[in-house]
Amino acid sequence: MSSRVAVVTGASRGIGREIALALCRTGFDVVAASPQIEKNEELLENMRALGGQVLAVNMNLLSFDSIREGFAKALQQLGRIDVLVNNAGVTRDGLAVRMKREDWDQVLQINLHAAFFACQQVLPGMMKQRWGRIINIVSVVAESGNAGQANYVASKAGLIGLTKALAQEMAPRDITVNAVAPGFIDTDMTKVLSDDLKTKLLAHVPLRRLGRPDEIAAAVRFLASDDAGYITGHVLDVNGGMYM
């Protein structure tokens, strides 16, 4: 069998970048999807150095046409998609009473609607070959809630619901659908936090440290493997114990 093909959305930086690199190291051909990713030569060179085929697809998750065209390009060039990692996500935080409609809409569109549309693009092929892995990156706050993030929490909680619904629909075709829920991870999103706020946050983390992007990537790599064939509809928490 030729190498399995994985598509990773939001692959340009942070957790998505580490997931793309981890899957390359595991032997997958990887499609890195993100806005302007074709210009990210450093990442593409790093991925190619790990072996296998690498394809970059500029994908705007606010546009259904862009999502459809991106997956069509991947299928045309690589012939199949075995694994989909819905990693892309944005925040537009604010108190619910003052939240702007566009901030609600954009977060739901990118974090939830686009993930569903991406699933629709890969499911026909996975159903035909009777094997597939869909892995949705959610968040600890989807399980615990968080003040000031009504839009983000709703989008990620919705993604957990989508994960469980699709897991039941797709199980007869040997397609597993799971979620990984990161806690506070050392990425660009957390680098902007003040030291005082980080200290307060870490007080709620039993392991007393931020997680690393490669620790999220390791969870994804496992769920994408044959070893995880009897796990579906599961939310794998990678959060240092901050929510149990």
The residues that are catalytic are 152
- C-alpha 211: how far from chain center: 16
Spatial distance between the Cα atoms of 111 and 117, rounded to a whole number of angstroms: 11
Beta bridge partners of 134: 84, 177
C-beta of residue 15 within 8 angstroms of C-beta of residue 92: no
Q: Quick one: tokens of 98?
A: 């003052």
- Sign (positive/negative) of CA torsion 239, 228, 160, 118? positive
Distance CA 191, CA 130 (A): 42
Task: Give the residue ranges of DSSP H helices in 81-173.
Answer: 101-108, 114-129, 141-144, 150-170
